[in-house]
C-alpha cells in the first residue's frame, strides 16, 4: 500500500498548479494572461527583428581638401585665416607649428596665399 500511496503522491505532484474552478476570474483570467504573454512576446520578437533587419546607413563622405579650399575663396580674410589655419593643423602639422608662434603677435599675420598654396600642394 505504501507503494501505491507514493505513486499517487508522485502523480499529484506532476500536475500543474491551477486555481480551483470557482476562483475569481477562472478560465477568462487564464485566457487573458495567455493573450497578454503572447502579445508581449510578439512585440519583443517584432522589435528584435526590426532592429536586426534595419540597414546601416553609411555616413556621407567628408568633403575633400580641394573642395574646402575652393569654398574659402569667396570668404572674408578673417574667416579665411581661421579656416586655413584649421586645415593646416589637420593636414600639415609641421607647417602649422612653424606658423603658430606668429599667430598672436600684433605686427605679423600669416601669409594666407602662401598657406593656401601649401595646402593645395599637399592635395
Q: What is the pLDDT of residues 85-118, one digit of tens each?
A: 999 999 989 988 888 888 888 888 888 888 889 9
The reply to whether 49 falls in a domain is: no
Structural domains of the chain, count: 1
The reply to whether 18 falls in a domain is: no
The reply to whether 57 falls in a domain is: no
The reply to whether 5 falls in a domain is: no
The reply to whether 92 falls in a domain is: yes
Per DSSP, the residues of 22-61 read: TSSSHHHHHHHHHHHHHHHHHHHHHHHHHHHHSPPPPPPP
Range of 87's domain? 65-122
pTM score of the predicted model = 0.51
The reply to whether 22 falls in a domain is: no
Average pLDDT of 59-86? 89
The reply to whether 45 falls in a domain is: no
Amino acid at each position: 500500500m505504501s507503494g501505491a500511496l507514493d505513486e499517487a503522491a508522485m502523480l499529484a505532484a506532476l500536475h500543474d498548479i491551477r486555481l480551483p474552478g470557482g476562483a475569481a476570474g477562472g478560465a477568462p483570467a487564464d485566457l487573458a494572461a495567455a493573450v497578454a504573454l503572447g502579445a508581449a512576446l510578439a512585440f519583443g520578437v517584432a522589435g528584435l527583428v526590426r532592429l536586426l533587419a534595419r540597414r546601416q546607413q553609411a555616413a556621407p563622405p567628408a568633403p575633400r581638401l580641394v573642395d574646402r579650399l575652393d569654398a574659402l575663396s569667396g570668404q572674408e580674410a578673417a574667416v579665411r585665416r581661421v579656416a586655413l589655419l584649421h586645415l593646416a593643423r589637420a593636414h600639415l602639422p609641421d607647417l602649422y607649428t612653424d606658423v603658430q608662434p606668429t599667430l598672436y603677435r600684433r605686427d605679423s599675420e600669416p601669409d594666407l596665399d602662401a598657406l593656401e598654396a601649401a595646402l593645395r600642394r599637399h592635395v
